[in-house]
Each structure stands twice: as structure tokens, then as C-alpha cells.
Structure 1
């Protein structure tokens, strides 16, 4: 692809028309920078796969010209791709202190531990890379040290919002730096590239301080001795609130789950949290003293602490009249998993409170009032909505237009956006897509591996072994999994059908697979419309002696 000289380009390779996997490129005269390098969690679409990363095939064409990576904050959908993609890049990664320590912890004892060139940034201190000048500004979110970036190049000022909200009473870190934003407005903001996740919320996203007050009321008034709270491990403000409540009420608190304890340690090293005197380990929980038990698993993850406790696979147990607070939202796609675990715990006699019942969670993303607030301060000439599914991005573009932003445009992953013209536009398309991290290998979403897993998941599998000795049918082994309730009857009938076809000399070493599959189809038609995966093995021993 030939790129025009003296043109500023923006290319999202992830995060546009989806929530997660944020990965953005800015380029000018063969100088390129990357903003964020995130992952997605696979969900049910890709059986056996946990993590999805952006397909970075396009980057191979410009790899030598990528000069820096800038991370806006430490959430997995912005930083989680670094360990999987680091080997492609020979450039510094700029990030704040909290994000740097989290990434260092993540890659410790891995192959990329000694290969990353991490550079801690200071707020408001310009970083000059080739023709680019990047400045980090503080903005509130649901994790410490989230940043909004100013990118200046070729007489253009681009503001890349990252994830954000306006919390006037943040519990961790500083307030949003409105002075920084107003100074950007004075320069003239050409394009705002902005978070769309919460655009359907017509109000403010809410303050962590309000959540703290309500959690305090709930926990204080509860008669339960064990109060379980599950939340995102990265929500340091929420952890701070729970510690505050435990200290204020003189009750015990403990954390269960590896990611929770890692987040606590990192936040402590940055000065955001301190372990209170009434902190205990999970084996010290007593029925005589009220205890807040903070645990991982708010999204129904099967290996997380909450799920293990629910399935009686942990030393900590649920008993009747315990209280469980889901201090989190349901991420789209996790509804079934969360619903299943809520039902499981409810049957144990545990009281459950979610965000639908009381104020126990607020979003980390801007509602419409906050979006309008940012438009009013920055006064951008153009807007590109990102960090959202199609419905979020279309709604954000429409909302911005109603609020006076003259040129909002809708883009998709892979769009080559020309930012140099007064009216920005999509000039071309580059390759984009997804790569699945399947254990230690990387595969395409269209891989036969995924297709076969889906087929087996939905239709079951049949194993057939034909053993021929000295040109006579010695035995037939048939085994089916996940196909029919009366599988023994099916296997017996299929065996008889195969024997009949062999006696009729329809099955030999040249056509055994075709005829065997025809036998399977004939028998299956009588009982099901399923089309299982069929694995056939043909063993022919012509010189066998008993």
C-alpha cells in the first residue's frame, strides 16, 4: 500500500466495533506510533480459547518504522496484548508508574521479561518521538493513573481519550486535569478519538465515593458474619473502600484470588493502599467475627475464587444467611455464566445483592452528560467514536452531531483514516482481524480446529475402529460421546450395519471410510438429525498368526 506524504493517518486494528482488544496506530511520513495493545476474552464463540489479540499482519509492512508504544492505562483490553506481541517491536513502551509495575508483574518469569523496554512517563511532560509529541494528562477511570493523550504532529492536535469518566470525588488518584483539557482547547483540537462504551447512559456514570457510602450502609446493617464481595481485581478504588469500611466498623477483611492479591501488592507499592491491622488470611476466618471476604470471579469465571467456593472446592464455605455482593457490572457475553453461579449460590441460602438491586457499582466509562462535558471543554472539530460495538459507535456519532460536533465519522477496524483534511475521511482499508491464543499456539478464528470444536460441542463425536485380520472382519469397536442418550443401542445397531456391509463385500481398504460414513448416516437418520464428528480407523493385518 502506498501512503501519501505529509498526511496524518489513524488506523484502529482493534477496539472499533467491539469492546476490548484496543490497538491503534498513528502514522505520518513513515513514522508510526501505537496507542494501546489490548486483548479480548474469547467467550463461547471460540471453544477452548481464553484470549483474543488483534491480527497485526499490516504492521509487518511498517514494522521498522514503529517508533514507540504508548499505553493509556493498565486494563487488560489496553495492556494485555503486550506479552503476546512484544517480539514484533524494537521500540520503547511508555506508560505510567502503576501500569509499568503491573506489566512488570505480568511478564515476570516469562520469555519477554528481559525484552521489554519500559519507560515511565510523567503527567504533562512531553514525549517527543520523531514528528510526534505526546503528552499524558490525568483523567479519572476505574483504575489508577488512567490517561488522556494529546498527540501533536504536522500542525494537528489529536486527543485520544483512552477509557475515562468524570468523577469529581475520586477515592484513588487525582481528579481529572481540566486545566490540561482547557489548554488543549486553546491550541485547537482537530480530532477527538473517544470512548463510546457507556453512551446509552443518559446521566453521569456515578462516583466511587457514592458506592463507598452505600457499601458502608449495607455492610454495617447486615447481620451476616461473612460478607462476600466480588469485584474487578483492578478496581483499586473499590478495594480501598472495602478496606476503609472494615477499619471503620472494626471487622476483619481478607482477599481471596491471585489477581486480587497481585493488584493489592502493586497498588501498595504505588502508595494507593495499605494493609490494615484487621487483615486476615482465608484460613483465619472465624464464625465469631464479622468479616468482609473479597474474592475474584465477578464475571462467573470457573477457576476464580467465587466459583470454587460456590462449588465447594475451597476451604472457605458458603452457609445459609451469608451475604454476597456483586460489586461489578455484567460484561456482555458473561450473562449465562454469572446467572448460573448466582442461582447456584442462591440455592445455598445466601442473600445476593447486585448493581440492579442497590448502588454497589458505578461504570468507569462516560455517560452522555460526561461526553457533552468533554465536547464543551475541548471543542473538537471532528470526532471518531471508538471502544464500542457498532451500536455504541453509531449512537455516539449521532449524539455528538446533535451536540454540535460538526464532523463525527464512523469507522471500523482496519480503516485507514486521513486526519489531515478539514473533513477527515476513510481513505482506504488495511488488513485487520483476530488471532486466537490457544494454549501456546496462535490460530485463526476460521481455523479448522475451531470449526471442529464447535461441531463436536454441538453434535458429539463417534469413534469407529475396524479390525481386519487375514482378510476377515475380526472386530468392530464403536464409541460415541455427547450424541445420544441411548448411545449403547445406537452403537449396537451401527455395529450390525457395518458387519452386514462387510459381509456384502462393500467395505475394503480402499473405500472403508466412505461406506462407513454412509452406514453412520443411515443409522443416525432413525434417531437424530445431528451430524457428529466421525473418526474412523481401519486396521488390516494380513499376516497375523494366532
Structure 2
């Protein structure tokens, strides 16, 4: 998730607004967004939201959070096209004010003088942002790399960064994702050659999973398929949305229309290539459903090949390996990136690329962002070696860049919200706390009827999914114990509904705890007759 804020003379500028995924650490919240409370309380001072590129971790939260911010949005043509589709699905397209800025364009959101700077990345039209102020220039790099042949779009504009360095840069807020990786990140052109060679030697059905927004990779897969005499079918909503956005801005113009999912099954196996979502093992993505043999349109099995043209994002290992295992059990050959099959390169700068950017920009101060703490520390050490003074900050820290000493001046409210349908729920709130308890300890629901004096009528019902099997005798034993405990309560307490309900809930919790040694979420329904 990325939500950055710059403040100058009381005015606020937001840069990027992305999502994160719960994964195994927070299975109760599949999609998370930054908590914008501090910013939304000051939205009357928010001059705009600038999007650096069209990756989900940089724009995926706009549709969820824009109603709380209600500010103009500024983005490149491709990012604007992606945003319009997302806002349209959320019913906000006619409310949000999207300004499309040409690549490398300069625009003014007083008191900020802003300029997009072209960078290569694993998505079209990624832009760094130069922020000119009366105190100096801040360079916000976004995600970037130095790729001599990125295939779609020109390389990173090193001349523009050198010119900015000559102008003088107060601080550079820079990508740290690959700060631990020596050398260079590699080129998309190398991946295109590797995919063409690989696909050309395969028989049976071929499926390729990659990140939907990597349009250069999508184009490479299509050209590899064409060279092998195969037609390409798209599987996955995000791929279809990106395809539409790319063609809207003039990308993929030499790629013929993709086959629909319904058409794919009628092609001979050796003439079909499936391009699908699900490279990270997402349970609802196309590849996961194909692996589980639950997809309504297509199946893979003996003699087929699945290519993962992507990296394994930390936290997704178990989900990805599970999909690979299912495919292998079905008889598929699974190919992942390695030395023999260089079918993926990172979109982020390795150490030599970081050094090159510092040589061009020569910032006085460096603020490493993106990645884990070890990545930030390694980037900070590199920045220091390159002559910049590094500053590592955490979520919520407000770093004063000028005037005066550069230091953390204060901390503001930050955190995460879970996207739950159309709702935004606090991660530490009661709803998600209940889900966490249910995941680890189960849930127990008790129902009982009592008369006016509070005596139990009939037999209580106890349901404990996740603890007892349906019809388990222990449920009946717990119900009988609950009735006895209620009838033994003092008569005045039994006549008060709230007091009786709380006492019954406590009794039920104790009865369950004695049997399963857990502390489940307990709900009790009381009916007085």
C-alpha cells in the first residue's frame, strides 16, 4: 500500500493510493487499504492526488478512498484509463475529477510545481514526480528501473534526471524493493526472447500466468504464441480490463483481439495459449480455479504446460506452491523463472541502478521507501556511500525536509482498513476481531427459551461449527449442561433479560472451554415465553 502526503504552507499533496493483501498474516481481510483519517479530516487543504503508475499497490485504493478525500486526480493516460474503469465499477466515474497529464508533463497545484519524469517499470507509462517548492526540489521516484529495452515505451529518461540533479535536489524519496540485489534487474527484451524460445518447443495446451498490468509481458506472450502458431485466450477480469485500457491509449495495437473464454475450448490443444491471472495463487483468480478443476470453460491436464512469468511475492509462497502442486498432480508441467528459463525480470532497480540514479540526481537527503526494514537499511547505507544523508521513516512519521534541520517532526495517525464489500472496516475493530477469533477458536451459537421466572423451557440448542461435527453428542451434552446452569442461577437474575443473557453466555463459554480448551466467539439467543 502506498499513500504519501507532502505538506507546504498548509496545503497538502497526496501521491499514490494503493491496496495491500492480507495473505496468511491477516486472512480475515483479503484486501487492505491505508487508513486516510488524518488526511480526510484535512481534505479542504488537499490540492490533489497524483498517481505515479497503474499498479494496484499505487492506485488500487482510489475507488475505495476517494469518497473520503474528494479531490482532483492527476495521472498519465494509461493510469487514467485504468482508473476510469475502476471508478466506473464503483459508480464514481461521474463524480471523480480525473486530469490526464501527458508523459513528462509539467503542471501546477499551488503551492506545488509538479513535473512527471519518464521511468521504465513493469507497467506502461510509469512516472517519477519532481516536486518543486520554494524550499527546494523533492524527487519522488515511485517504482522504476533502468531497462535499456523496455519494449513498450522508451527507457528511463536519464537526461531529465541529470538535468534535475544539476538544478539541485533537496531530497529523493526512492524505491528500495531490490536494494539487496546486486547488479542490474534485467530487461524485458531478454524475457521476450526466452518466452519465444520456450513456447515454441511445447506441445499440448500452454497457459502463462503473469501480472495483468505488465503490458510488455502480455505483448511478449502474444508474440511468442504467434511464432508458435497459437492463438491467445484471456482468462481473468483484470487482464480484460487492462487489455481494454491499453488499447484505449494506443498500446497492443499490433496484437489481434483475444479469444473469449468460451472460444478457447474449441481450439486444438497445440493451437491454444491461455493467458491468465493468478500468478500469486489468488484463490478467486483464473489459474487457481483451473488448477482446482472448477473453471467452467477450460481444464488442464496430462501433456499441458503452465508457465509462471512472475516472481513469488513474499507472503504468497504457500498459495502459489499449492496451485503448482494441484497442476502437477493433474499431469501438467510447471515452469517457473530460473537460470534455465529467464522468463521474468523485476520492475525495480537493483543496486547498480540505484547507484546510477544517485550519480545523476545527487540529492542532499535520501528517504528510502518500499520494501521491508532490511531493504530500507541497505538502501540507506548505499545512499550514504553516494554522498546523501539517509533518513528512514515509518508509517505515520512526518519528516520535515525544510526549513531547518531534516528530522521527524511529529507522527500522525496511520493504519490499515479492510475492504469488506462496500464497507471499510478498521483492522483493530470488533468485526475483524470477531473473525480472527472465529478463525482460531471457532464460534458457538446457543439458543434457549425461558419462562417468566427464568426457568428453561424445552432443550436449548447449541451449534458449534468448527468445533463439533453436526449432530455430535457433545453439542447435546453442552446444551443439557447449559440448561442446568441457568436453572441454578439466583431467581432475581433470571428475571432480568440482559443479566440472564450475559450469564448464559458465560456459562456456555465455560462449558465449551472445559471440553475443547479453546475460547470461541460465543453468541446467545434468548427467548422469553
TM range (shorter): over 0.9
- 1:299-326 per-residue CA deviation (whole Å, 9 max, x = no partner) reads 1112111112122222201111210011
**Residue 273 of structure 1: CA displacement?**
0.3
Alignment of 1:270-309 (within 5 A): 270-274=249-253, 276=255, 279-285=258-264, 286-309=267-290
**Residue 194 of structure 1: CA displacement?**
0.2
- Paired residues of 1:461 and 1:481 also in contact (CA < 8 A): yes
State the match for 2:234 in structure 1: 255
- Paired residues of 2:53 and 2:75 also in contact (CA < 8 A): yes
Q: Does 1:492 align with 2:471?
A: no
Alignment of 1:101-250 (within 5 A): 101-108=81-88, 110-222=90-202, 224-250=203-229
Alignment of 1:319-468 (within 5 A): 319-356=301-338, 358-401=341-384, 403-421=385-403, 423-468=405-450
- Paired residues of 2:104 and 2:127 also in contact (CA < 8 A): no
Structure 1 residues 252 and 187: alpha-carbon distance in aligned structure 2, compared to 1, 3 A threshold: same
SS in 2 for 1:289: helix
Unmatched segments (≥5 aa) in structure 1: 1-20, 542-546
**Residue 290 of structure 1: CA displacement?**
2.9
Q: 1:533 aligns with which of 507, 521, 525?
A: 521
**Residue 35 of structure 1: CA displacement?**
1.4
State the match for 2:78 in structure 1: 98
SS in 1 for 2:367: strand
RMSD over aligned CA atoms reads 2.2
SS in 2 for 1:214: helix
Unmatched segments (≥5 aa) in structure 2: none
- Paired residues of 1:53 and 1:81 also in contact (CA < 8 A): yes
**Residue 382 of structure 1: CA displacement?**
0.8
**Residue 39 of structure 1: CA displacement?**
1.9
SS in 2 for 1:108: helix
Query: Which range moves more in the overlay, 261-270 or 186-195?
Result: 261-270
- Paired residues of 1:509 and 1:538 also in contact (CA < 8 A): no
- 1:334-375 per-residue CA deviation (whole Å, 9 max, x = no partner) reads 222112111111111111011246312111111111111111
State the match for 2:457 in structure 1: 473
In structure 1, what is the Cα distance between the partners aligned to 2:8 and 2:487?
A: 74
**Residue 332 of structure 1: CA displacement?**
2.0
In structure 2, what is the Cα distance between the partners aligned to 1:53 and 1:288?
A: 41
Q: Does 1:266 align with 2:250?
A: no
**Residue 269 of structure 1: CA displacement?**
2.0
SS in 2 for 1:531: coil
Query: Which range moves more in the overlay, 164-173 or 415-424?
Result: 415-424
Structure 1 residues 50 and 379: alpha-carbon distance in aligned structure 2, compared to 1, 3 A threshold: same
**Higher RCO (C-alpha 8 Å, min separation 6):** 1
- Paired residues of 2:219 and 2:255 also in contact (CA < 8 A): no
- 1:87-128 per-residue CA deviation (whole Å, 9 max, x = no partner) reads 344543221111111111211253321122222212343212
Q: 1:31 aligns with which of 11, 14, 17?
A: 11
SS in 2 for 1:99: helix
**Residue 437 of structure 1: CA displacement?**
2.0
In structure 2, what is the Cα distance between the partners aligned to 1:332 and 1:288?
A: 34
SS in 2 for 1:283: helix
State the match for 1:14 in structure 2: none
**Residue 481 of structure 1: CA displacement?**
0.6
The number of aligned residues is 519
In structure 2, what is the Cα distance between the partners aligned to 1:236 and 1:364?
A: 12
Structure 1 residues 248 and 444: alpha-carbon distance in aligned structure 2, compared to 1, 3 A threshold: same
- Paired residues of 2:117 and 2:129 also in contact (CA < 8 A): yes
In structure 2, what is the Cα distance between the partners aligned to 1:503 and 1:248?
A: 79
TM-score if structure 1 supplies the norm length?
Answer: 0.89
In structure 2, what is the Cα distance between the partners aligned to 1:505 and 1:128?
A: 72
In structure 2, what is the Cα distance between the partners aligned to 1:192 and 1:502?
A: 67
In structure 2, what is the Cα distance between the partners aligned to 1:464 and 1:521?
A: 10
